[in-house]
Amino acid sequence: MSRLAVPKTYKLFIGGAFPRSESGRTYEIVKADGAFLANAAKASRKDARDAVVAARGAVAGWSGATAYNRGQVLYRIAELLEGRRAQFVAEIEDAEGVSRAVAAAQVDEAIDRWVWYAGWADKFAQVAGNANPVAGPYFNISVPEPTGVVAIVAPQDSSLVGIVSAIAPALVAGNAVVVVASERFPLSAISLAEVLATSDVPKGVVNVLTGSPAEIAPWLASHADVNALDLVGAGGLDWIELEFQAADTLKRVLRPEQGDDAAAPSLERIRAFTETKTVWHTKSLR
């Protein structure tokens, strides 16, 4: 006797927990051949607001941790991804309709990017900051600090590599994030959330919303408690209007990126979510 299938309904990831959408809405995720795969929660405005509250509450602890500790936490995520590699490969195969080899290459790339960003955690400040030469008996030092809460529209044509590439650089600098996953390929994003929930990432540092970016992004762009907006995956939306909405609260905005490797690893993506603090300190005259 064959077993009955157990269809899964994936939930959101907010504040370290997995709630259903407050609206109760879900939508069907289908395989590349159109067959039913799973249900995913369809996030609402209230869910987005709850995610921002959770992220704001996590900023102080995450940004206050040592850079070395953040690097350890990020590396731990890569270790857990490696341990669940087969699951992610199977999900990408089903969702995107690609071969096992192609799916495996995507998972390996996502893991490698986590490791790359983890390595920068305790090093980027030395590159992004410096001691400034000034006239007078003063030390003048510039250091990068996290912007705060970063809202992200993840690349929409990628299951795993896109969301990893979007959230990792924001985390390196000590920011907390609210990310809107790919509407078409959300399963790897929620599986990534399950990895985060069992790692050392503090609750609220990463919050994952699934559903319609066109519906959720405007609420995040106009939210007064969001400090920066990454529109890397918003090329199919009216992203100029989102930029206008973000300007009302003086948000830092990264515009959409095109091409097969949007949000490619770079030091500039880390620097984009930092503010530079410059400190003056008197020198001893003796």
Predicted confidence at residue 283, as pLDDT, reads: 82
CB 231 within 8 A of CB 153: yes
CB 253 within 8 A of CB 229: yes
User: Residue 78 corresponds to which tokens in the numbers above?
Assistant: 């890569």
Per-residue pLDDT tens digits for 179-203: 999 999 999 999 999 999 999 999 9
Which neighbouring-strand residues pair with 268? none
Q: Which residue has the higher pLDDT, 276 or 53?
A: 53
Which neighbouring-strand residues pair with 149? 176
Cα separation, 257 vs 151, in Å, equals: 16
Provide CB contacts within 8 A for 284, sequence distance 6+.
none
Per-residue pLDDT tens digits for 206-229: 999 999 999 999 999 999 999 999
Cα separation, 151 vs 153, in Å, equals: 7
Give the long-range contacts of residues 212-215, CB within 8 A, separation 24 or more: 212/42, 212/183, 213/153, 213/156, 213/180, 213/183, 213/237, 215/43, 215/44, 215/45
Taking 90 as the threshold, does the pLDDT of residue 281 lie above it? Answer: no
> Could you tell me the pLDDT band of residue 134, with boundaries at 50, 70 and 90?
confident
Residue type (1 letter), 245? Q
Taking 80 as the threshold, does the pLDDT of residue 258 lie above it? Answer: no
Question: What is the DSSP code string of 94-128?
Answer: HHH---HHHHHHHHHHHHHHHHHHHHHTTTHHHHH
Share of the chain above pLDDT 90, in %: 82
User: Residue 51 corresponds to which tokens in the numbers above?
Assistant: 């995610």
Per-residue pLDDT tens digits for 36-79: 999 999 999 999 999 999 999 999 999 999 999 999 999 999 99
Rg (Cα) of the chain, in Å, rounded? 20
Cα separation, 166 vs 100, in Å, equals: 24
Cα separation, 78 vs 172, in Å, equals: 14
